[in-house]
């Protein structure tokens, strides 16, 4: 066989197709990382917008002035006051809404934990910068619950979508 025939034969096989896909993916790796970064930023922004909405509804009616302290200071997450319970409810409801954001943005059940954990790790870093290391057990329980809710509900929604039947058109043959 001459070289041209071997290349034509290789191109007609499945191996050539797999090699081409791998080469294309390797060339677009920076695009993939940029897309992941955008998804993380979008998820983080949507989470904080939702948290702000729930905070303004639940906490804003109870306090005279809203502040970032309710978002990022661990001392506001307390079970000893009604306002603390409203802050806790805001975080849990935002995590539930975050599951729907993960469902629409990520679209894969195996990636839900990654994106949810990234969101809460970034939130932890912001809390450390804002108010120091969270030493309240309530903060850790609420954050762990939020992570679990966002991950499990998001995975459940994604799995339901992935397991849907693919509709195939039925054509009748005119034989």
pLDDT, tens only, 89-141: 999 999 999 999 999 998 889 999 999 999 999 999 999 999 899 999 999 99
> In percent, how much of the chain has pLDDT > 90?
68
Q: What 3 state SS string does 71-111 have?
A: HHCHHHCCCCCHHHHHHHHHHHHHHHHHHHHHHHHCCCHHH
140 is written with which tokens? 């850790």
Domains identified in the chain, total number: 1
Asked if residue 72 is part of any domain, the answer here is: yes
Displacement of CA 145 from its chain's centroid (Å) = 15
The whole-number pLDDT of residue 164 equals 85
Asked if residue 168 is part of any domain, the answer here is: no
Asked if residue 16 is part of any domain, the answer here is: no
End-to-end CA distance of the chain: give it in Å, rounded.
Answer: 43
Average pLDDT, the chain: 86
Asked if residue 104 is part of any domain, the answer here is: yes
Domain with 81, as residue range(s), is 36-160
The whole-number pLDDT of residue 29 equals 76
Asked if residue 89 is part of any domain, the answer here is: yes
Asked if residue 171 is part of any domain, the answer here is: no
Asked if residue 121 is part of any domain, the answer here is: yes
């Amino acid at each position: 066989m001459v070289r041209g025939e071997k290349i034509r034969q290789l191109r007609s096989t499945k191996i050539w197709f797999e090699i081409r896909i791998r080469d294309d993916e390797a060339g677009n790796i920076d695009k993939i990382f940029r897309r992941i970064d955008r998804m993380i930023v979008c998820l983080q922004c949507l989470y904080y917008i939702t948290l702000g909405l729930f905070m303004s509804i639940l906490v804003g009616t109870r306090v005279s002035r809203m502040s970032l302290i309710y978002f990022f200071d661990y001392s506001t997450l307390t079970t000893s006051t009604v306002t603390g319970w409203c802050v806790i409810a805001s975080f849990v409801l935002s995590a539930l809404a975050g599951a729907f954001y993960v469902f629409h943005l990520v679209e894969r059940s195996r990636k839900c934990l990654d994106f949810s954990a990234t969101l809460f790790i970034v939130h932890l870093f912001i809390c450390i910068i804002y108010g120091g290391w969270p030493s309240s057990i309530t903060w850790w329980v609420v954050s762990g619950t939020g992570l679990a809710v966002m991950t499990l509900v998001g995975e459940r929604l994604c799995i339901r979508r992935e397991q849907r039947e693919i509709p195939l058109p039925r054509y009748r043959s005119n034989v």
